[in-house]
Amino acid sequence: MLYSNRQKLADLSSKYLNYQANVLSTSSNTYKSYATDLRQFFQSLEIFSQKKQKSDFNNKELAALHFALNQWAHLKLSTRNRKHACVKSFLKWLYANKHINDPLDQHVICPKVPKKTPHFLSLDEVIALLAHLEKEVSLANDNEALLKSKRNHSLIMTIYAGALRVSEACQLKWKDLSSKAGHIKVIGKGDKERLVVLPQKVIRSINQLEHVSDYVFSLTHKQLNPRTAYEIIRTAGFKTGLNNPLNPHALRHSLATHLLSDGMNLRTLQKFLGHKSLTATEKYTHLGIDQLASTMNAAHPLAKKDLP
Q: What is the pLDDT of residues 24-38, one digit of tens each?
A: 878 778 889 999 999
User: Which pairs with CB-CB distance under 8 Å and at least 24 residues apart come from 234-242?
Assistant: 236/129, 236/132, 236/133, 236/152, 236/156, 237/129, 239/132, 240/125, 240/128, 240/129, 240/132, 241/128, 242/121, 242/125, 242/128, 242/129
Output the pLDDT for position 294: 56
- In a 10 Å sphere around its CB, with 0-12 CB exposed, 13-18 middle and 19+ buried, how is residue 211 labelled? exposed
pLDDT in tens, 215-274: 999 999 899 999 999 999 999 999 999 988 999 989 988 888 888 777 777 777 777 777
- Which of the two residues, 265 and 2, has the higher pLDDT score? 265
pLDDT at 100 over 70: yes
Q: Compute the Cα dihedral for 52, 56, 60, 66 and give only its sign.
A: negative
Q: How far lies 196's CA from each of 184, 225, 281, in Å?
A: 5, 22, 17
Query: Has this prediction a pTM greater than 0.75?
Result: no
Average pLDDT over the chain reads: 85
The answer to whether residues 237 and 245 touch, using CB atoms and an 8 Å cutoff, is yes
**Banded model confidence at residue 92, pLDDT cuts 50, 70, 90:** very high
| Overall average pLDDT of the 169-198 stretch | 88
| Overall average pLDDT of the 275-302 stretch | 60
In the chain, the domains with their CATH numbers are 6-107 (1.10.150), 123-296 (1.10.443.10)
| Overall average pLDDT of the 156-180 stretch | 93
Output the pLDDT for position 90: 94
**Banded model confidence at residue 126, pLDDT cuts 50, 70, 90:** very high
Half-sphere exposure of 253 (CA within 13 A, CB side): 19
- Which of the two residues, 277 and 129, has the higher pLDDT score? 129
Output the pLDDT for position 154: 97
